[in-house]
Amino acid sequence: MSDDAPLVLETELWRWTPDPPAKASWHFVTITGAVADAIRARAFELRAMGGARGFGSVRLRASVDGVAFDSSVFPHKESGGYLLPVKAEVRRKAGVAEGDLVEVAVWV
């Protein structure tokens, strides 16, 4: 992961609930555009070096409304970008909920 300046975008926090519904649900932000392109380039570098991860995931540092955490992003076929899971602890610290527009920063 780079110590360079993060790539930043604004996107909606959304909830995925399995079908049939379960007790737990997952919250995500969808990363598209230039930020997704930078992640894709990093994934290509990792594959070339033999460091590819399962499901095409890429480890990175991220923040949601200023709350930083380490995570992985996963390719998202529908958007052509990536999905970043946002844990309850991060949502609570950032004071955000489903449907909120959030600032996401990623270091790739």
Segment 18-55, tens digit of pLDDT: 777 777 789 999 999 999 999 999 888 877 776 666 67
* Nearest CA-CA partner of 73 in 25, 105, 98: 105
Signed CA dihedral, 40, 1, 5, 78: sign only: positive
Segment 66-94, tens digit of pLDDT: 999 999 999 999 999 999 999 999 999 99
3-state secondary structure of 3: coil
- 20-32 exposure pattern, b = at least 16 Cβ within 10 A, e = fewer: eeeeeeebbbbbe
Is pTM beyond 0.95 here? no
